[in-house]
Structure 1
Amino acid sequence: MEPTSRYAGLKYLGELDENGLPHGKGKLFGLCDVDKHEHLAHCNFVHGHCQGYVEIHDLSSKVSYIGYMQGENVRHGYGKYIDPKDGTYEGNWANDRKSGFGINTDKHGNQYIGEHKDNHPHGNGKIIYKDSTTYYGDWVDGLKEGNGILVFANGDYYIGEFKSDKPEGIGGTISMNTGKRIFGEFKDFRVSGLAIESNTTQNTVRIGEYKNDTIHGLLVERAGDGKLRMMGQLNGFSKSGVILDINTDGTGYIGEVKNAKPHGRGILTKPGGLELIGNFENGVFINP
């Protein structure tokens, strides 16, 4: 609540100071000539200003603050602020800004529980989004920054480092539907760098270099029993490179590939020996 001069038209019930300003416990109420809103304020007034514990309501906009103030009507200490167009905050304030521990629920239903600084999540906190996606971890100036856990509505989750509100750095993901698990380097929430990928559906473990969630460089892939399945160097975007690929029936291929098919010089193998050596084109043997 501002000094009564800025709320011309309001009625006051309570004590006054020598200058006629509200001073002591009192109530301001009525229609304000300045903003044309209906107001109600229960305060401990100090020369026209609300201080200490206050209850301030804009009855027209439904905005309210119940809590503590100091100085020139500054929210300071514990208080609850409600704005139908913005949301609700209940917690600590410092110099009229959210600072310290508090619970902030925005107009969309997203809720943050944790530490604040200068009106932003800062420190350790948890946010629950409307779709049930949840993040718990470090925050800097309103952004996820540091270490945290991000759990999606479908049960998938990421554990690791964050930067500028996105998974970036060392971390791991688990897919509840496919059973795929990846631990390694992330950039902009994509696997980029060295990583280990475990796929329970395919019963394989792969170690390799990635770029934008795709194998791009050296790789080694083994079956769950430890047997070698694939190794080599592969451009995952064009499915080209040089690889050793061993099938579950014991057959295999060593050589160049393109679009995931033998293309160039290569060797087809079978259990117990070689089958074909020569040139391939789009998966078809051409000549020795």
Structure 2
Amino acid sequence: MKKTILFILALSLCFSTAAVAASAKVTIKYKDGYYFGYTKNKLPHGKGTRVWERTLRYDGDWVNGQRQGQGYLLFATSLEAGEIISEYTGQWKNDTFHGKGELSDSGYQLEKFGGSHYINYDEVDYMYISDDTYNGEFKNGQREGSGKYNFLLTNDETNVTTQVTYQGEWKKGFMDGKGTLTRIVNEKTEKYVGGFIKGLKHGKGTETLSNKSAKTTKTCQVVYKNGKKMSATSCK
């Protein structure tokens, strides 16, 4: 009986040791960096950290060598004017952003900025420092679903700051559907509530222009087509 008990204990110890060994963190070296964490079939699987050359790092969940689950990514994009530092925290699927998450960027923008689906205003010829955050839903690496976007733009030459906020629907990375877009420059505020298509105001909506210093407010029923204002009625 004692021998049987000792055998069972020894066998349990062997399985326990094997389980610890199988789940131990390992380091995998690549030409462009390394991975440190748990693996399965020699692939990242479970919790782990992948570091690439330059500023590129992922900490989070892995499934069969792909980022999947919850994770944090830090990366940099090189531009003529400098670098944009980006951070993403949220859900992943098939190695890309998918589900709910937060994506933020900060750094210098190109000298020619504007006309993008973010703010839809005229191009300017100055250097800008930007800071923006999107908090919401993603699908296959793009903003899609419901989300809130905050954008802060500072003119390096005039030191004028533009604040833009959008809350609403997104599709394939663009503002698309119903939403509210607010733009504040100094004491002037422009607010549009209505439809969007591919990042442009489109369809019926309400537009409010206010000036804090002049203590004036004007609200109109508007109709846009692909970003162009077609009519403004019932203004008061």
After TM superposition, the score normalised by the length of structure 1 is 0.54
Count of paired positions: 175
Q: Flag the structure with more relative contact order, 1 or 2, with Cα contacts below 8 A and sequence separation at least 6.
A: 2
Aligned to 2:96: 166
Task: Give 2:143's aligned amino acid.
Answer: V
Post-superposition offset of 1:259: 2.4
Secondary structure of the 2:106 match is coil
Question: Which of 125-134 and 163-172 deviates more?
Answer: 125-134
Per-residue deviation, residues 49-77 of structure 1 (Å, max 9, x unmatched): xxxxxxxxxxxxxxxxxxxxxxxxxxxx8
Secondary structure of the 2:24 match is strand
Aligned to 1:204: 164
Aligned to 1:140: 63
Q: Is the 8 A contact 1:243 1:256 kept in 2?
A: yes
Post-superposition offset of 1:100: 3.1
Aligned to 2:194: 232
Q: Is the 8 A contact 2:98 2:138 kept in 1?
A: yes
Distance 1:228 1:238, change over 3 A: closer
After TM superposition, the score normalised by the length of structure 2 is 0.65
1:98-137 correspondence runs (5 A): 100-106=24-30, 108-137=31-60
Task: Give 2:203's aligned amino acid.
Answer: G
Secondary structure of the 1:233 match is strand
**Partner of residue 132 from structure 2, selected from 160, 165, 180:** 180
> Runs of 5+ in structure 2 lacking a partner?
1-17, 77-83, 108-129, 154-161, 212-216
Distance 1:267 1:248, change over 3 A: same
Secondary structure of the 2:32 match is coil
Q: Does 1:266 align with 2:232?
A: yes
Q: Is the 8 A contact 2:197 2:226 kept in 1?
A: no
Post-superposition offset of 1:239: 4.2
Q: Is the 8 A contact 1:103 1:114 kept in 2?
A: yes
Post-superposition offset of 1:268: 7.6
Task: Give 1:256's aligned amino acid.
Answer: V
CA distance in 1: counterparts of 2:150 and 2:220, whole angstroms? 23
Which structure has the bigger radius of gyration? Answer: 1
Aligned to 2:176: 216
Q: Is the 8 A contact 1:145 1:165 kept in 2?
A: yes
Aligned to 1:242: 204
Task: Give 2:98's aligned amino acid.
Answer: E
CA distance in 1: counterparts of 2:210 and 2:174, whole angstroms? 23
Post-superposition offset of 1:141: 0.8
Q: Is the 8 A contact 1:218 1:233 kept in 2?
A: yes
Identical pairs, percent: 24
> Runs of 5+ in structure 1 lacking a partner?
1-76, 78-91, 274-288
Q: Please tell me the root mean square deviation across aligned C-alpha atoms, in Å.
A: 2.8
Aligned to 1:50: none
Q: Is the 8 A contact 2:190 2:210 kept in 1?
A: no
Distance 1:204 1:255, change over 3 A: same
Post-superposition offset of 1:123: 0.7
